[in-house]
Amino acid sequence: MTENQLPHFNLNSFHLYSEKEEKGSTKPDLILAYRSLGIAMRSYLSTYQKLHHYFKSGIDDISHSPKYYEIYSETIIHIQHFFELVIKDILRDAHDIWTLDGIQVKDAVKNQFLLSLVVPKLKPSIIDTKKRTDIDDRSSVTFHESLARLELLKGTSKFKRSKNIQLILENKAILTFLTELRNHVWHRGITYLPLAEFDSLVCCFIFPILSKMIRMKKYSGIRYYLPKPLRIKYDVLNELTKQAASSSCDPYALLLLKELGRSSFESPLGDYYRTKALKPKSQRGKMRRSLGISFAISSANEQINKAKEIAISRRTELSDCPVCGEHCLVINEFADFTDDGIAFSFVTDVSCTLCSFQLYKDFPLNVNKFGIHNYFE
């Protein structure tokens, strides 16, 4: 095989959905957008799981570990990818061509061409509209160009009241800064924010945008790529935002909340707690809630039973897990004798055999204030 054969790979490329399949399904841009969001969330929330052994030497050292670089890079790259694809999806609502390179909005003639695809009264410019099969092979516009086109689209009567566009443009500075960070990682690989600034960016600026998007019907599917509900009634994203914005923010409180969020992804009971929290008013809604709860429990039963068997086989004390709520939290102890023959023991860590929630003895935060029993007292 030679380099001349590389272009032939494109012959087998395909779109996520054909025009027919697309109708009534998640749109192509959003399919990958949501998955990128999920990757970013799982990566960001894994801070404690992947870096807990650095805590003995102080939290500042975390920012200088290879594992931190991995978490930071994966989070920044994928969260930026999510927002860029969301913007491209909005532009595609106007026309496919709005997402394609080669038509810069700075040129008045090309502006008119783009607007003519949205505003029927405008006459098309001298640029001919390409067939879809032709334009799909052309490169996509950059993030910065996408924002410029979004502002142009906002000026049309059809899109001037678009809440989706308004939310993006209101946060233009944040998303532009996020893209700069992505470029530093993607193109240079030598510039990183320390953990405190990284937490502030994600918790105080990115999460509030996601919280607003969840309330929009078009993006309601985002909730399935965010932390699942917990047995203890904490909204992980909102609590992370609140803690990070506090002048007395405790970095270990953020780490605990991240660990709760990370393990919630592994809990088979997340849908149960989500459905249970619903408060429908209609009889039909109440019936659907009841069926949803029954289905969520029956779907999780096999995993729960296996986890309980594993937990019992450890032959140690068990407790209810703050994440999944099951009696699968194993309290691991170290026991020995002093030189004088006096027996002693202490808890080394706690770990859930169902959702994988775990805390180690050297965790310095008093977790009682989060409704979690302090197993290391």
- Domain endpoint, select from 199, 226, 253: 226
Judge contact between 330 and 311, C-beta under 8 A: yes
257 falls within a domain: no
Residue 149 included in any domain: yes
Domain-terminating residue out of 226, 260, 290: 226
Residues 92 and 204 in one domain: yes
Note whether 274 and 192 are same-domain residues. no
pLDDT digits (tens, 9 = 90+) for 283-306: 777 777 777 667 667 767 788 888
35/171 same-domain check:
yes
C-alpha dist (Å) from residue 235 to 118, 154, 215, 260, 277: 40, 33, 15, 10, 12
Q: Are 253 and 47 in contact (CB under 8 A)?
A: no
Q: What's the whole-number mean pLDDT along residues 217-237?
A: 88
What distance in Å separates the CA atoms of residue 64 and residue 49, rounded to the nearest whole number? Answer: 16
Tell whether 222 and 273 lie within a shared domain.
no
Residues 6+ apart with CB under 8 A from 123: 116
Work out the number of other CB atoms within 10 angstroms of the CB of residue 323.
Answer: 33
Q: Does one domain contain both 276 and 173?
A: no
Tens of pLDDT along 5-63?
Answer: 666 666 666 666 544 444 445 566 688 899 999 999 999 999 999 988 876 666 666 77
Place of tokens 């969020």: 261
> Does residue 106 sit in the same domain as residue 213?
yes
Q: How far is CA 344 from CA 50, 299, 315, 363, in A?
A: 30, 42, 18, 21
Picking from 168, 240, 201, the residue whose alpha carbon sits closest to that of residue 72 is: 201
323, part of any domain: yes
- In this prediction, residues 253-263 reach a mean pLDDT of 94
Q: Are residues 57 and 143 in the same domain?
A: yes
In a domain, 147, yes or no: yes
pLDDT on residue 40? 97
Token pair belonging to 247:
């002048």
What's the chain's Rg over C-alpha atoms? Answer: 25
Cβ neighbours for 179, distance < 8 A, ≥ 6 positions apart: 80, 84, 143, 144
What single DSSP character describes residue 126?
Answer: S
Residue 329 per-residue DSSP state? E
What per-residue string of b and e applies to 154-170 under the rule 16 or more CB within 10 Å gives b?
beeeebeebebbebbee
* 219 and 71 in a common domain: yes
DSSP strand pairing (318-319 vs 343-352):
unpaired
Q: CB of 322 within 8 A of CB of 357?
A: yes
pLDDT tens track for 152-198: 888 888 888 889 999 999 999 999 999 999 999 988 887 889 999 99
Containing structural domain, residue 219: 10-226
Cα 324 to Cα 262: distance, rounded to the nearest angstrom: 12
- pLDDT (0 to 100) of residue 130: 45
* Domain total of the chain: 2
Same domain, 293 and 159: no
- Return the number of other C-beta atoms located less than 10 Å from residue 232's C-beta: 15
81: in domain:
yes
77 and 185 share a domain?
A: yes
Which amino acid would we find at residue 370?
Answer: F
321 within 8 A of 260, measured Cβ to Cβ: no
Q: Which residue has the higher pLDDT, 94 or 213?
A: 213
236 located within any domain = no
Q: What is the pLDDT of residue 26?
A: 57
User: Please, what is the end-to-end C-alpha distance for the chain in angstroms?
Assistant: 65
Does the residue 148 lie in any domain?
Answer: yes
Q: Which two tokens stand for residue 192?
A: 């990183």
Tell me, yes or no, whether 155 lies in a domain.
Answer: yes
Task: Find how far residue 345's CA is from the centre of its chain.
Answer: 40
- Is residue 263's pLDDT more than 60? yes
- Return the pLDDT at 262: 95
